[in-house]
Amino acid sequence: MTAVTYQGLEVLYTRQQIAERVAEMGAQITRDLNGEKLVMVGVLKGAAPFLADLARAVQVDATFDFVATSSYGHGTRSSGAVKLIKDLDQSIEGKNVLVVEDILDTGITLAYLRKLFQQQRPKTLRIATLLDKPSRRIEEIKPDYVGFSIPNLFVIGYGMDYAERYRNLPDICLMTPDHPE
Q: How far is the CB of 102 from ligand IMP (least distance, A)?
A: 5
Site for Mg ion contains 107 (CB under 5 A): no
**Does 102 participate in catalysis according to the annotation?**
no
SS3 45: coil
Nearest-angstrom CA–CA distance, 174 and 12: 6
Site for ligand IMP contains 158 (CB under 6 A): no
Out of 53, 102, 105, 171, which one is annotated catalytic? 105
155 binds, among Mg ion, ligand IMP, none (CB under 5 to 8 A by kind): ligand IMP
Identity of the residue, 96 or 109, whose beta carbon is nearer to ligand IMP in the bound complex: 109
Q: Exposed (0-12), middle (13-18) or buried (19+): which is 35, by Cβ within 10 Å? A: exposed
Site for ligand IMP contains 107 (CB under 6 A): yes
Contact 39, 63 (CB under 8 A): yes
- Rg of the chain (C-alpha set): 16
Contact 67, 87 (CB under 8 A): yes
Site for ligand IMP contains 46 (CB under 6 A): yes
106 binds, among ligand IMP, Mg ion, none (CB under 5 to 8 A by kind): ligand IMP
Identity of the residue, 55 or 60, whose beta carbon is nearer to Mg ion in the bound complex: 55
Q: Exposed (0-12), middle (13-18) or buried (19+): which is 163, by Cβ within 10 Å? A: exposed
Residues that bind ligand IMP (CB under 6 A): 46, 78, 101-109, 154-156, 160-161
